[in-house]
Each structure stands twice: as C-alpha cells, then as structure tokens.
Amino acid sequence: MKICDQSYINIINAIWLNRNQSRFQDKVLNWRTAINLITAKVSTSGNNTAKSSSISMHEFNIMKYFNVSIKPPRAPIIREVIWMPPLDTWIKINTDGSYVKNPAKASIGGIFRNNAGICVGCCHRDFRVSNH
C-alpha cells in the first residue's frame, strides 16, 4: 500500500474516531489531537513497511510531511543475452510470453530471423485468461 493511501485511510479513521467519541461518549477532541494521531499512525506504518517509494513528487511530499524514511526502489537486474544465428538455410524463431494475474491477461510473441540476423517475420497474440 502506498504512503499516500495510508495517509488517506488514517485521515478517515481519525474523523470516524472523533465523530464516534463525540456522538457516543460526549467527548470533544481538539483538531490538533486528530492531526497528531494521523501523523503518528502514518509515520509508524510508513516506517515499518518493506515497500519502496515511488518517483511521484506528490508522494514524496506526503512522506516528508509524515517523517517517513524514503526507501528507493531496487535497481533492475540486467542480464546479457547473446543471440546465436542459425545455420545457412535455417530460420531461427525466438519466443517469449508474459502473464498478469489481475486482470488476468497473457501475451505471447515471436520473431523469425535468418542466418544474417535479418527479421523475416514476427507475430504476437494477446489473451484474456479465464480461471474456470
């Protein structure tokens, strides 16, 4: 869950808590108490999460306001891939696919290359996946 989502949830929680204490226990809480409650909860939950921050300036400003330590995203893993050409009269087909769980979608694709590495054809297909 993003930090800005946590702050919105804690704002709604503080409003709900103050309204219920006013309605059912005849207590009137100061608005500064509500702000301190929101700040403490967002700071605690934000600093205890293992999630990394996004690159959004809006989220960065929220995190700074609530004193949440910024956790940059991990660097991507880069792997070197070496393509080997096929024999003289052959065509090589390289394929790949991907799947996303929610919403359930999948895609596949392929590229056909001759021995000089020139693309002689390619294809792709998108699928909607059913869990039935």
Task: Tell me the pLDDT band of 52, cut-offs 50, 70 and 90.
Answer: low
Please list, in sequence order, all residues whose beta carbon lies within 8 angstroms of the beta carbon of residue 114, skipping any fewer than 6 positions away.
Answer: 86, 91, 92, 120
Tell me the average pLDDT across 18-28: 83
DSSP structure class, residue 67: T
> What average pLDDT does the chain have?
81
Q: What is the pLDDT of residues 62-104, one digit of tens each?
A: 777 777 777 777 788 888 888 888 999 999 999 999 988 877 8
Residue 119 has pLDDT above 80, yes or no: yes
End-to-end Cα spacing for the chain:
29
Q: Count CB atoms within 10 A of the CB of residue 58.
A: 9
Residue 57 has pLDDT above 60, yes or no: yes
Low-confidence winner among 35-39, 89-93, 121-125 (lowest mean pLDDT): 35-39
